[in-house]
Structure 1
Amino acid sequence: MSGEIEVDWLVAGAGAGGMTGAVVAHQLGGSVLLAEKEPVYGGTTAKSGGVAWIPANHRLAEFGIDDDSEQALSYLRGLIGDSVPEARVRAYAERASEMLRFMMQHSHVHYTPLPAYMDYYDSVPGYQSGGRSMDPAPMHIRHLGGAAATMSRDHYTDLLLPFNVSVVEGRRLQEMDFGAYALGARLAARYYLDLPARLARRGDDRLTLGPALVGRLRRSMLDRDIPLWLDAPVSELLCEGRRVSGARVCRSGKDIVVRARRGVLLTTGGFARNAILRRQYQPQPSSDRWTAAAPGSTGDSITLGEKVDAALGFMGSAWWSPTYILPDGRSLALISGKSNPGSIMVNRCGRRFTNEAQPYEDVVKDQYASEARGEGAVPCYLIFDTTFREKYTAGHIKPSKITPDSKLPPNYFDSGLLTRAGTLAELARQIGIDAAALEQTVADFNDHARLGKDPAFGRGDSLHDRYYADPKVEPNPSLAPLDRGPFYALRCEPGDLDTKGGLLCNEFGQVLDGNGDTIDGLYAAGNASSAVMGDTYPGAGSTIGSAMTFAYIAAQHAFATP
């Protein structure tokens, strides 16, 4: 292999942003190389729900939803304030829909609005009650051919169900009525009748959520013969004067100089798996074990960018979510289980500290605030009773009517992940929290929950709070008393889906230096860049939506520049 090659566009990182940037550049007539440091492609996207938050998207009219970029900008500006330059926020509000239309026209990417999946903050002007968050279309893995073997398959759904489900299917299954059981039966039948996969003892070959988006992007690259190098980290950016002209890529133990005529796009993810950077920048205590991000999210773009004087932003922020650690070391995000009735979250003082059903970003921010007050909220505990245990999932742990305690792995209990006791006082003793305070907290909560009220935190008041709750419970689908033992505690950490601090960029995705000037030839998108959302989380899919949008914008800018 030659020690030097030349392309128009070099992309580092094979997640949603990187593969989008590669496809767009190729469609614009460029020669493209995508380099991924891991032995598999997909990154954190492959571990995610694959949802993209795309305001004013072109499919909303099909669902009778009226939206435009000015409403979206008003909503974003109301959340973000002036912490991000308006030109960058406006670029997202105006061009996310353009990106989606382009990708649905020129690639296998396909998204459908979720009309019942609302933005997270209904009090902010420009809010939409549904449709901006979009579900990626499923695909069968056979369409990837041999490329299926190197796709990341590290997704949490294999712990919950034998078959994969879309966002819509997953939401329907949670309702556990006749229609939900019928849907489950159809999905199970399709899964078990896929004889090639069953005989090979593979997982479900029907991809949904993040893996489906990854698969569709990879198929789009295969159609275009865009090369993807795996096990190929970028070790150094190369410059000619002040312009980034390429990079040094290590492949098969050999350094390859890749000249990039149009530029280099960094989409290597955040630094959630980098303990040193977390200690330097993030709220404490923190751990690289608590994140649900991919193993490759170690801050490579930050290291590369700083060597060419790139500026950084929002390094103390993350796409926060409570997580819990399995005995095998895997960290899973707790997205939906915390909203169901018959549960509360408490700190080690035995007190509630948050509206458990609010957006997961805010739960972790409240957890850190409680810790800072000396209340011992790291870890905290999701407390629930036997009624909850029988009816609802707690993370990936299925209801006891499906998986009784006797069928759970014993190390769930032995490791302290899950604790069970006949009384609240005994549960408190086992997990080391104030027993009298926990009993009083639950008593107070129960008195109000029976009336459908939460005067302390307003749980269940918003449409968002009710989305993952139980509509059969009245008057508040997110509230019910904890009054039936035995009682349970799930240990929860202040985790994240990945960090959101990184290289400071302008509205074109160009990386900026400490003086606010552009570093010509260098672009960044996704969690490698400083988030356009700032320290906020506007709605489900904000991570992937912004990654794909700014990868698209970056490629368009690079190929429009002489």
Structure 2
Amino acid sequence: MGANRRKAHNDKMTEKEHEVDWLVAGAGAGGMTGAVVAHQLGGSVLLVEKEAVYGGTTAKSGGVAWIPANHRLPEFGIDDSSEDAYQYLHGLIGNSVPAPRIRAYAERASEMLRFMMQHSHVHYTPLPAYMDYYDSVPGYQSGGRSMDPAPIHIRALGAAASSMSRDHYTGLLLPFNVSVVEGRRLQEMDFGAYLLGARLAARYYLDLPARLAKRGDDRLTLGPALVARLRRSLLDRDIPLWLNTPVAELLYENGRVCGARVTREGQPVTVRAKRGVLLCTGGFARNAGLRKQYQPQPSSDRWTAAAPGATGDGIALGEKVDAALGFMGSAWWSPTYLLPDGRSLALISGKSNPGSIMVNRQGRRFTNEAQPYEDVVKDQYASEQRGEGAVPCYLVFDATFREKYTAGHIKPSKITPDSRLPQTYFENGLLSRANTLFELGAQLGMDGHALEQTVADFNHHARLGKDPLFGRGDSLHDRYYADPKVQPNPSLAPLEKGPYYALRCEPGDLDTKGGLLCNEHAQVLDRSGEVIPGLYAAGNASAAVMGDTYPGAGSTIGSAMTFAYIAAQHALGATAKESP
């Protein structure tokens, strides 16, 4: 069963002891889902979180969940099936992940959502215009699998609101929070968008209790809304959540994991878990040592948008009981950029708008900027490995782009002119500005003539609506975050009006994908491929069911919640009849 597996010792008689059916480590979307499901099935549950706040990386995310064949699709006239979803996933992932594990996700994600919407405050609505990322793969769906979490008022949490993670970038771009649908509508910046903005602003400013207390927006959307809805569900059930409680080691007795030793308020506590332990502790994006050991180089734990607690705790715990690892070199990649205060923000949508390109330090394009963010970073690393100097790279845009569109969180100049931007953005190189492309290239340490030639070639084709080098704007995905008013290609327009700008971008991520290898029941496997009884993992603590791919928006949260659900069902011995 593995020489490294530790057997529990009963010589620490002074330790406090606690007994439950189901112990969950990590209070993000996966962990809280696993706790709610086990409780609904009749189990006693304890949820522990090492940080002083709950929410994890989910609270920093968009909260979108990718749920194929979900039960709400018929309301939107969309036909989907779990078999189509399986064909799509398997077509992308191939044999890098066992087929039963892929099929479990394709078939049971919709079951999880129905269960959670019936038995908790979780509520999701399909995004009919948000398509899967790869339209050439059989089983592709043009919309509806990616789902938007419903907003919720933080005052619904009562006293528990004070310990929720609020480290979300909303507030940098707008003072109020917006849903996915609202955010995309505002981006269009037409009359209807201005009306929506006025309504959202009025609601925000008329929320007098929040304004008088000088808080942010108390109407939560995106990832924070999902976190709040799950936390409210725990409160309804009196499921205990112990914050500031890291797991020190797993208990392994009589051939199975039967609990863990945790540290609560500085004191050791032995928690015995009769049905098992679920690890939902996140990835290792904030662990510089593991990144150096496993990830493409150069890398940095500062470039990630993951939560501070994503340091690979589940990996360390699992390895001590001989667990196998997988996909340690992979991540949920996204270009990121560093603010002067050290925060790292993901660049998801701004790279798709017309009048912009990404270049390496040779002044040359290396990618289709509008393609899925994971693929942009993969191309960035490929360019770096060819010796072209793509870490960092630069999003280059002209004055027309600057006037009309956001670049990350930076508002258009018609709202926030350059004079009102923090000068630290320019002083530390986050933003660069020059009157000509040649001067901009010199500022960035590249051949200004090469940058001029790159832009001239791009402009020629952009006027025709074509990108012969990388096919930008050819897919439905490329056009989703683009400008439909620009034709014939809403993602392409020439860069021809100075001054010119450059936003420095790193090969960042939303979190890592590598973790404990699991089967279709979310059971952790050892290095010989055998199940470690009593030990389960979900979310970024587990080796991603998506492998080294990113099928669609919400793949991270959708898979975390689904396999936490599957784990709780398996551990509590639920039958198909007990599931809705």
Aligned pair 1:316/2:329, yes or no?
yes
Match of 2:395 in 1: 382
Deviation at 1:436, TM superposition (A): 1.1
Supply the distance in 2 between the matched residues of 1:373 and 1:427 (Cα, whole angstroms).
24
Supply the distance in 2 between the matched residues of 1:499 and 1:272 (Cα, whole angstroms).
5
The ranges of structure 1 where at least 4 consecutive aligned residues each deviate by more than 4 angstroms after the TM superposition are none
Supply the distance in 2 between the matched residues of 1:408 and 1:147 (Cα, whole angstroms).
36
User: What letter matches 1:438 in structure 2?
Assistant: L
> Is contact 2:15-2:268 (8 Å) kept?
no
Supply the distance in 2 between the matched residues of 1:228 and 1:403 (Cα, whole angstroms).
42
2:450 aligns with one of 428, 432, 437: 437
1:98-117 pair list within 5 angstroms:
98-117=111-130
SS at match of 1:82: helix
SS at match of 1:511: strand
> Is contact 2:327-2:544 (8 Å) kept?
yes
Supply the distance in 2 between the matched residues of 1:32 and 1:320 (Cα, whole angstroms).
34
Offset from partner CA, 1:237-269 (integer Å, 9 cap, x none): 011032000001101000100000000000000
Match of 1:547 in 2: 560
1:511 aligns with one of 521, 524, 537: 524
User: What letter matches 2:492 in structure 1?
Assistant: L
Supply the distance in 2 between the matched residues of 1:461 and 1:210 (Cα, whole angstroms).
30
User: What letter matches 2:90 in structure 1?
Assistant: R
Supply the distance in 2 between the matched residues of 1:4 and 1:159 (Cα, whole angstroms).
45
Match of 2:252 in 1: 239
TM-score (norm 1): 0.99
Match of 1:127 in 2: 140
Supply the distance in 2 between the matched residues of 1:72 and 1:31 (Cα, whole angstroms).
34
Supply the distance in 2 between the matched residues of 1:289 and 1:246 (Cα, whole angstroms).
33
User: What letter matches 2:212 in structure 1?
Assistant: L
Match of 1:258 in 2: 271
User: What letter matches 1:24 in structure 2?
Assistant: V
Match of 1:414 in 2: 427
SS at match of 1:560: coil
Match of 2:26 in 1: 13
Match of 1:47 in 2: 60
SS at match of 1:450: helix
Deviation at 1:433, TM superposition (A): 1.2
User: What letter matches 2:478 in structure 1?
Assistant: D
Aligned pair 1:38/2:62, yes or no?
no
SS at match of 2:464: coil
Match of 1:337 in 2: 350
Supply the distance in 1 between the matched residues of 2:173 and 2:44 (Cα, whole angstroms).
42
Unaligned runs of 5+ in 1: none
Supply the distance in 2 between the matched residues of 1:235 and 1:391 (Cα, whole angstroms).
51
Aligned pair 1:74/2:87, yes or no?
yes
User: What letter matches 1:554 in structure 2?
Assistant: A
User: What letter matches 1:290 in structure 2?
Assistant: W
Match of 1:84 in 2: 97
Supply the distance in 2 between the matched residues of 1:441 and 1:497 (Cα, whole angstroms).
30
Match of 1:139 in 2: 152
Offset from partner CA, 1:183-208 (integer Å, 9 cap, x none): 00000000000000000000000000
User: What letter matches 2:379 in structure 1?
Assistant: D
Aligned pair 1:476/2:489, yes or no?
yes
Offset from partner CA, 1:91-138 (integer Å, 9 cap, x none): 000000000000000000000000000000000000000000000000
Unaligned runs of 5+ in 2: 1-13, 576-580
User: What letter matches 2:36 in structure 1?
Assistant: V
Aligned pair 1:393/2:413, yes or no?
no
User: What letter matches 2:95 in structure 1?
Assistant: D
Supply the distance in 2 between the matched residues of 1:20 and 1:441 (Cα, whole angstroms).
49
User: What letter matches 2:400 in structure 1?
Assistant: T
Supply the distance in 1 between the matched residues of 2:254 and 2:481 (Cα, whole angstroms).
53
User: What letter matches 2:238 in structure 1?
Assistant: D
Match of 1:446 in 2: 459
Match of 2:441 in 1: 428
Aligned pair 1:292/2:315, yes or no?
no
SS at match of 1:5: strand
Aligned pair 1:458/2:471, yes or no?
yes
1:185 aligns with one of 198, 214, 217: 198
What do you get for the CA RMSD once the two structures are aligned?
Answer: 0.9
Supply the distance in 1 between the matched residues of 2:245 and 2:372 (Cα, whole angstroms).
37
Match of 2:369 in 1: 356
Match of 1:269 in 2: 282
Match of 2:185 in 1: 172
Deviation at 1:317, TM superposition (A): 0.2
Match of 2:9 in 1: none
User: What letter matches 2:298 in structure 1?
Assistant: P
SS at match of 1:322: strand
> Is contact 2:15-2:270 (8 Å) kept?
no
Aligned pair 1:161/2:174, yes or no?
yes
Match of 2:380 in 1: 367
Deviation at 1:561, TM superposition (A): 7.5
Supply the distance in 1 between the matched residues of 2:133 and 2:268 (Cα, whole angstroms).
46
Supply the distance in 2 between the matched residues of 1:321 and 1:139 (Cα, whole angstroms).
27
Deviates more, 1:356-365 or 1:433-442: 433-442
Deviation at 1:2, TM superposition (A): 6.8
SS at match of 1:26: helix
